[in-house]
Structure 1
Amino acid sequence: MDISGIILAGGKSSRMGVNKALLHINGVPAIQRIKDVVQGLVSELLLATNEKDMYEFLGGRIVGDIVKDKGPLSGIHSGIHASATDRNLVVACDLPFLSRPVTAELIRIAANVNADAVVPIIKGKIHPLFAVYRSTILPEAERALENNRLKMLDLLRSLAVYEVTEKDFLRGGVEEALIQRAFFNMNCPEDYERAVAEEAKLTARKA
């Protein structure tokens, strides 16, 4: 499917205390790990951030916010506005264990449903920052930004949403362990420590 990838790298990382996109997991910045997964699955890759200099090392196309200081919704809006495709895979920069099987299956599911947004719900938790959005969401996103309604859940209520659960990924042949790892996100220092420890275990297991 012709689809763009939009990596969100504009967060303030207030709970982490440092830029979580650039935290290293096994010697590689978290955002680089995500880019390496997404790049081979999309027709174009965009990086949504207002800090161009900080992310030039990634080598992708950088898109700044059209409407600034409005959180993830700003990045999604700007990324889709700049995208050349109707469907867009949006990925937050704090998913260090994102994997190709999980990402490819989400894209495959999105290609076969007619919805504005295809959003995973894992263990009962919705993940609007690892989801597929169509360009049809732009009018609603713009209205939300204009009215300062910045919560992603509020936006989703105004869209046609297809929910993807663990069962959908399992039916697509994705291993349970990969599903659970993919949706682990780093919000605070304890999460980062856990990610580093988990990666060390995985590396030792493969050795």
Structure 2
Amino acid sequence: MSRADKDPGVDLGGYVLAGGRSSRMGSDKALLALGGKPLLQRVADAVREAVGAVVIVGDAARHSGFGAPVIADEFPGAGPLAGIHVALKHSTNDWNLIVACDMPGLTAATLHGLARIRALFPAADAVLPVAGGREQPLCAIYRRRLLPTIESALEHGNLKIMRVLEGARLARIDFPNQEAFRNINTPEEWRELQERASETTS
């Protein structure tokens, strides 16, 4: 099999962001269990299946039991941009799938589809899904060459991902399944998710 015929997913690094403070939830979202499996485990398994490997960006004391290496933010308290930064700094891959841990609707099939679409945009700096009219920077593919831009932004206190990416070449891909990218932030959203999950299994 030639390199051109290879599955595009095998050339991607895979990272799951689990370092958030979960302040609105009141407890670590990564450890909340849905269907007997923590959200972090669900997303890490999907990333691993989609691209072949996964690294967790989080706290080794809390997130080391999920069968993946754990690396820590170098800008603690700086939000998800800091997670993207350390993922790109750690990676040896040109392209990297970086996903937040609080998207329980994500599947390996969705992520694999994103990885395949990425191959259509070789000049892009990042490939972002768009669902329900909203860009999804916390389930996206980033090129390692964005690292200096992101690091400079963090050093200057600029933490909004889309603002930092304003000068980058972005490929935006429409995804019809909004539920795949829905994240969980509050106890109310968590209860609603659990109720929906119990209805589908009853």
Q: Percent identity?
A: 38
Corresponding residue number in structure 2 for 1:24: 33
Higher mean displacement: 180-189 or 193-202: 193-202
How far residue 40 of structure 1 moved from its aligned partner, in angstroms, is: 1.5
Matched, 1:92 2:88: no
Paired with 2:76 and 2:102, the residues of 1 have a C-alpha distance of 21
Corresponding residue number in structure 2 for 1:79: 87
Matched, 1:186 2:195: no
Corresponding residue number in structure 2 for 1:67: 75
Matched, 1:33 2:42: yes
User: How many residue pairs were aligned?
Assistant: 192
Paired with 1:101 and 1:198, the residues of 2 have a C-alpha distance of 21
Paired with 2:147 and 2:83, the residues of 1 have a C-alpha distance of 12
Contact 1:20 1:30 in 2 (8 A): yes
Corresponding residue number in structure 1 for 2:66: 58
Matched, 1:13 2:22: yes
Aligned-pair Cα RMSD in Å: 1.2
Contact 1:122 1:165 in 2 (8 A): yes
Corresponding residue number in structure 2 for 1:199: 197
How far residue 190 of structure 1 moved from its aligned partner, in angstroms, is: 1.1
Paired with 1:151 and 1:69, the residues of 2 have a C-alpha distance of 13
Query: What is the CA deviation profile of residues 34-86 of structure 1, one whole-angstrom value per residue up to 9, with x for unaligned ones?
Result: 1111112224311111x101111102111111222211111111011111211
1:145 to 146, 154, 161: 154
Paired with 1:20 and 1:133, the residues of 2 have a C-alpha distance of 24
- Residue 24 of structure 2 aligns with an amino acid whose one-letter code is R
How far residue 160 of structure 1 moved from its aligned partner, in angstroms, is: 0.7
Q: Alignment partner of 2:64: what SS?
A: helix
Q: Which runs of 5+ in 1 are unaligned?
A: 167-175
- Residue 181 of structure 2 aligns with an amino acid whose one-letter code is F
Contact 1:140 1:158 in 2 (8 A): no
Q: TM-score of the superposition, structure 1-length normalised? A: 0.89
Paired with 1:185 and 1:86, the residues of 2 have a C-alpha distance of 27
Paired with 1:198 and 1:88, the residues of 2 have a C-alpha distance of 32
Contact 1:77 1:142 in 2 (8 A): yes
Q: Which runs of 5+ in 2 are unaligned?
A: 1-7
Q: Alignment partner of 1:40: what SS?
A: helix
- Residue 95 of structure 1 aligns with an amino acid whose one-letter code is M
